[in-house]
Amino acid sequence: MVFSSMSFLLLFLPIVLLCYYLAPSLRARNAVLVAASLLFYAWGEPVCVLVMLLSTATNYFCARVIAESEGRQKKAACALGVGVSLAMLVYFKYFGFLLDNITALLGLSLRAPEIRLPIGISFYTFQVLTYTIDVYRGKAAVQKSFWRLLLYVSCFPQLIAGPIVQYADVASQLDERRVGAEDFTAGMSRFVTGLGKKVLLANLCGAAVEAMPGASASFLGAWYHAFVYTLQIYFDFSAYSDMAIGLGRALGFQYKENFNYPYVSLSATEFWRRWHISLGSFFRDYVYIPLGGNRRGKARTIVNLLVVWALTGLWHGAAWNFMLWGLYFGLLLVLERTLLQKPLERAPASLRWAMTFLVAVVGWAIFYETDLHTLRDTLLAMVGLRRVDGALAGVGLLDVGSAAVMRRYGLFPLLAFACSLPILPALTARLEKRPRLLASLRAVCPVLLFALSLVFLVGQSYNPFIYFRF
Q: Which of 219, 254, 175 is nearest to 403 (CA)?
A: 219
Three-class DSSP labels, 123-150? HHHHHHHHHHHHHHHCCCCCCCCHHHHH
Question: How far, in Å, CA of 244 to CA of 156, rounded?
Answer: 8
CA atoms in the 13 A half-sphere facing the CB of 355: 16
Active site residue 316: yes
Residue 257's contacts (CB-CB under 8 Å, 6 or more residues apart) are 241, 245, 277
Of the listed 225, 276, 316, 373, which one is catalytic? Answer: 316
Of 398, 368, 361, 321, the closest CA to residue 206 belongs to 368
Count the Cβ atoms, other than its own, within 10 Å of residue 7.
11
Query: What is the amino acid identity at position 467?
Result: Y
Distance in angstroms between the alpha carbons of the first and the last residue of the chain: 16
CA distance 470 to 468: 5
SS3 of 394, please? strand
Supply the DSSP symbol for 467: G
Residues catalogued as catalytic: 316
